[in-house]
Structure 1
Amino acid sequence: MKKIFPILFSFLGILSFSQEVSLETIFSDKISIRAIELYDHKIWYSGTDSKFGFVDINNPQNQKQIKLSEKKLQFRTLAQDKNSFYAINIESPAEFFKINKKDLTSEIIFRDTIKTAFYDALHFVNNDLAFTFSDADKENHLKLAVFKNGKWNSFKNNIILNEGEAAFAASNTNIASTKKYVWIATGGKASRILRMNLKNENIEVFKTPFIQGESSQGMYSVDFSDDKFGIAVGGDYTKQADNVNNIATTNDGGKTWQVQAAGKNAGYTTCVKIKPGSKGKEIISVGDQHISYSSDFGKTWKKISEEKGFFVCEWIDGNNVVLAGKDKISVMKIKF
């Protein structure tokens, strides 16, 4: 790992905006990070070259990094229960790692050796239940795995994806959940919402008005504040300035979607997160060319920074957001 640079306050690209915004880089390394978790006042990450570690939010010099494998694996997933972290590398063979929170020892608890294995997201509904999904097999079956009773198993279902319909391992946020539902956002030549009722495990499939039809298009990230209100973002990573049909919201749990801010947003976006307690009113989003904010349920957006290279974000609290991506982890303070 490269030596951590001194903490610097970076105001590059921060635009005039009714809220006061500052951006502080607290971790630098040669790494691409697309999955983060918050635990014990620390930001935990997984990334390229089998790297896994943490940086302390309050004392950034307190940090640690390990390698989960001697192989140069790429991790784009990370999730946790009360005792452990879990991470799955992209590409086949996909190895499911379990990392002990106390001593950071790790073990491989499941392997997927099918050639088409490519796990796009990993999400814990609660301490006892998690889901992850992979690109489809040759027959286009939806490929889900479920974590129950401390073990991973395939989740049997009869959902057939469209030809060219897959997902993007962009920020580990194309799965979201409440106590009642799990939502999965697909993309590519078709971009749809899959909704599982956790009570009966029935899966419904809903169309969306998102840009779709090419392998680079569709939803990249989804978040829900409750069983009804949700937001999805994405676009086309080959045409990042395009900003039509790349943001949509739902008020009926994903059945129907309304395009928002078409032609009036910052373009391609990889991660969206609703501010806890705001009931969907306040939202942060990032793409690798911008950081944007909405205070009206995603209807309008303000670019609050042109800082580049972030792929994933998460609210620390009501005024602080962690962002991670190419070679860095930063904390943004937003004073309302």
Structure 2
Amino acid sequence: MKKIFPALFIFFGTFLFSQNVSFETILNDKISIRAIELYDNKVWYTGTDSKFGFVDLKNPKNQKQIKLAEKKLQFRTLAQNKDAFYAINIESPAHFFRIDKKDHSVLDIYTDTLKTAFYDALIFVNDEHGVTFSDPAKDLNLKLSFIMPKLNSVLDFNILTKREGFNSIKLNQGEAAFAASNTNIAHHGTNIWIATGGKSSRIIKIDYTTLKSNIYKTPFVQGESSQGIYSIDFYNEKFGIAVGGDYTKQEANINNIATTNDGGKTWQIQASGKNAGYMTCVKIKPNSKGKEMIAVGDQHISYSSDFGKTWKKISDEKGFYVCKWIDKSTVVFAGKDKISLIKLKF
């Protein structure tokens, strides 16, 4: 009998939260979406079958979709500066595409022909520099690249570090990153953070103005190729959140959430054994001082209102991989065959 009450509490807690969440699906298509951007009151996306497009948030019937390539490429990255969107397909050869914001013209600005090329995430730190990284080659050096929009070119980090006298970033055997939601990379100020997983799950911190880097261990679940950090977000240069787990054991919830208060040097496990399991994306609510955040996994959507210390499952909706806050009460989610808006009433 004693075990019934905690179970009932969890059930009714989830039930009450679910009553304060409403869904509106604004795109249905045969596509897997793992990267989205917001611009001009539209949600822009890349996905499978070389698909790129947008849905108008105010008028969802206003939609457009184009193919970035004749081949059926798979995209898990998308980023933007003031003039264009950029996307990279995950298979080798990896093509770097530029999509003009005005006329949606597509330009292939660079091709990585290495057989090991597999680009996990892409962001723009400012209008002049985009940053992306690929799984390492046999030498285990992290393949970090900078997109230079003005020149429509790409600079290799390893070449830069050798030229400037810095050491390349060496990963451990069996350590890589997950192309799950384009969010295992984050930036704030001049800092870039990259999260890894697999045999080791660590945080790589780089100052992109000096190219100096540090690698920090984490207490995250790790050791197997499917384990580790899948997504990170930073509210400022000090406070950040990391989520993940094991995609082969979606219900596993031990050591799969952690926070930092010192810019990634040290991490504290949160809600171990007391969360809904594997998560692919986490986003801190803007203007919440880091207090509120939402996370999504293949099997659930969860919410925290205390800096990631405790979590409530607010939906059992399945098939979402990535999310972004639109405003203080609206979040856009994308994933398998759909994009949806979720209104939070709490």
Structure 1 residue ranges without an equivalent (≥5): 1-13
Computed over aligned residues only, the root mean square deviation of the Cα atoms, in angstroms, reads 1.1
Match of 1:26 in 2: 26
Query: What secondary structure is seen at the aligned counterpart in 1 of 2:15?
Result: coil
Match of 1:194 in 2: 204
Match of 1:315 in 2: 325
Paired AA for residue 134 in structure 2: S
How far apart in 2 are the matches of 1:37 and 1:198?
22
Bigger radius of gyration, 1 or 2?
Answer: 2
Q: Is the 8 A contact 2:18 2:315 kept in 1?
A: no
After TM superposition, the structure 1 = structure 2 runs for residues 209-248 of structure 1, keeping only pairs within 5 Å, are 209-248=219-258
Cα shift at 1:128: 1.1
Paired AA for residue 197 in structure 1: D
Deviations 1:43-94 (A, max 9, x none): 0000000000000001000000011111000000000000100000001000
Tell me the matched-pair count: 323
Q: Is the 8 A contact 2:117 2:134 kept in 1?
A: yes
How far apart in 2 are the matches of 1:166 and 1:114?
16
Match of 1:335 in 2: 345
Match of 1:58 in 2: 58
Query: What secondary structure is seen at the aligned counterpart in 2 of 1:71?
Result: coil
Match of 1:154 in 2: 156
Match of 2:74 in 1: 74
How far apart in 2 are the matches of 1:179 and 1:186?
21
How far apart in 2 are the matches of 1:253 and 1:182?
10
Cα shift at 1:126: 1.3
Cα shift at 1:18: 9.0
Query: What secondary structure is seen at the aligned counterpart in 2 of 1:15?
Result: helix
Match of 1:305 in 2: 315
Matched, 1:295 2:305: yes
Q: Is the 8 A contact 1:179 1:198 kept in 2?
A: no
Cα shift at 1:201: 1.7
Query: What secondary structure is seen at the aligned counterpart in 2 of 1:44?
Result: strand
How far apart in 2 are the matches of 1:177 and 1:116?
25
How far apart in 2 are the matches of 1:168 and 1:198?
22
CA pair 71-115 structure 1, distance change in 2 beyond 3 A: same
How far apart in 2 are the matches of 1:197 and 1:132?
14
Identity of aligned residues (%): 69
Match of 2:3 in 1: none
Deviations 1:171-195 (A, max 9, x none): 0000000013100001111110000
**270, 278, 290: which one aligns with 2:288:** 278
Paired AA for residue 143 in structure 2: K
Q: TM-score, normalised by structure 2?
A: 0.92
Cα shift at 1:130: 1.4
Deviations 1:120-174 (A, max 9, x none): 0001111111110000001101110012344211112411100010000000000
How far apart in 1 are the matches of 2:251 and 2:18?
24
Q: Which has the higher helix share?
A: 2
How far apart in 1 are the matches of 2:286 and 2:299?
25
